[in-house]
Amino acid sequence: MIPKNIIPANKRELKNYIGIGTTIKNTLTLTHRALLKMIHNPEVFFDMTLMPITFTLLFAFIFGGAISGNITNYLPTLIPGVLIMTFVTSCGSAGAQVREDADKGIMNRFKSMPIARIAPLASILIADFVKYAVAGIIVFVIGFLLGYQPDAGIIAVGVTILFLMFITWCLSWVFAWVGMIVKSASTVTSVSTMMMMPLSFLSNALVPVETMPWWLQWFVNINPLSHVITAIRLMLTNGTVGLDFLVSLGCCFLILIIFIPLTLHAYKKK
């Protein structure tokens, strides 16, 4: 029922700005919404689970013998490669989600409410951290089952997952921006696959660079993903942070500096 009287407009406490506290509260509430959506639609985890499983098994059995003599010796090369491929394919999902929301009536409701404009966007990008974490853990579990034991131990595994989560999060801003400028949500996913798939294959993810022709080596060496992969291989075997690690982080900050303003600008115009 509607029990009490409605407070008239002139008796209300009103403010014409949205403070940082409200912004954070709104973002958390909407992150909760995005997480609930994941729980209701567990299919979103399927591709993130299925892909690393098939890739690891497939590549381990096909290339393992040829490249490293046997499967176990190949795993330290392969696992970081599969990790990066898994993460990289999921970096478009936030952009697609943002776009889907923007196309639906729910965006009109958000717009008519006194909430921080940025909250619907930010919440989706935050909630996707959960997906990334799940993906990272799955790859390591599969590797472990095949006999992979990173020399640097469990802490290095944790650092690697966090590092990759951050990198993927930065990349997801690129596709959040793509989501704002293309026609539909499905375009975002195809753009991200078209861009990231070749990038992840044309890297040192699966095979040693030395086996490639010189022009390919040239590209593989400037591909930022190769630096990321080298960085996590070093982290997982030695437990140390090398130059590649820093170069990767540098690339990420560059992406953030360019794409956060671009995305916000496109988002506000919508």
Reading the block at residue 168, the tokens are 């993927």
b/e per residue, 96-113, with b = 16+ CB within 10 A? Answer: bbbbbbbeeeeeeebeee
- Of 24, 41, 198, 254, the residue at the interface with other proteins (CB under 8 A) is 41
Residue with smaller CB distance to other proteins, 42 or 213 = 42
Place of tokens 């115009």: 269
CA dihedral sign of residues 232, 34, 114, 108: positive
Closest by CA position to 88, among listed 220, 194, 5: 194
10 binds other proteins (CB under 8 A): yes
270 binds other proteins (CB under 8 A): no
Distance CA 77, CA 67 (A): 10
Residue with smaller CB distance to other proteins, 104 or 265 = 104
- Of 58, 69, 109, 198, the residue at the interface with other proteins (CB under 8 A) is 109
Minimal distance, residue 28 CB to other proteins, in Å: 9
Cβ atoms 182, 188 nearer than 8 A: yes
21 binds other proteins (CB under 8 A): no
The single-letter DSSP state of residue 17 is: S
Reading the block at residue 28, the tokens are 């958390």
Residue with smaller CB distance to other proteins, 15 or 215 = 15
Minimal distance, residue 269 CB to other proteins, in Å: 12
Minimal distance, residue 53 CB to other proteins, in Å: 26
Distance CA 27, CA 230 (A): 35
- Of 36, 58, 155, 209, the residue at the interface with other proteins (CB under 8 A) is 36
Q: What's the distance, Cα to Cα, between the start and end of the chain in Å?
A: 37
Residue with smaller CB distance to other proteins, 79 or 127 = 127
Reading the block at residue 49, the tokens are 């689970």
- Of 69, 70, 111, 265, the residue at the interface with other proteins (CB under 8 A) is 111
Q: Which of residues 112-171 bind other proteins (CB under 8 A)?
A: 112-115
20 binds other proteins (CB under 8 A): no
7 binds other proteins (CB under 8 A): yes
- Of 42, 43, 108, 183, the residue at the interface with other proteins (CB under 8 A) is 108
Q: Which of residues 71-100 bind other proteins (CB under 8 A)?
A: none
Q: How many residues bind other proteins (CB under 8 A)?
A: 38
Distance CA 171, CA 122 (A): 14
4 binds other proteins (CB under 8 A): yes
Residue with smaller CB distance to other proteins, 47 or 100 = 100
User: CA 71: distance to chain centroid?
Assistant: 28
No. of H helices and E strands in the chain? 11, 0
The single-letter DSSP state of residue 79 is: H
Binding site for other proteins (CB under 8 A): 1-10, 12, 14-18, 22, 25-26, 29-30, 32-33, 36-37, 40-41, 104-109, 111-115
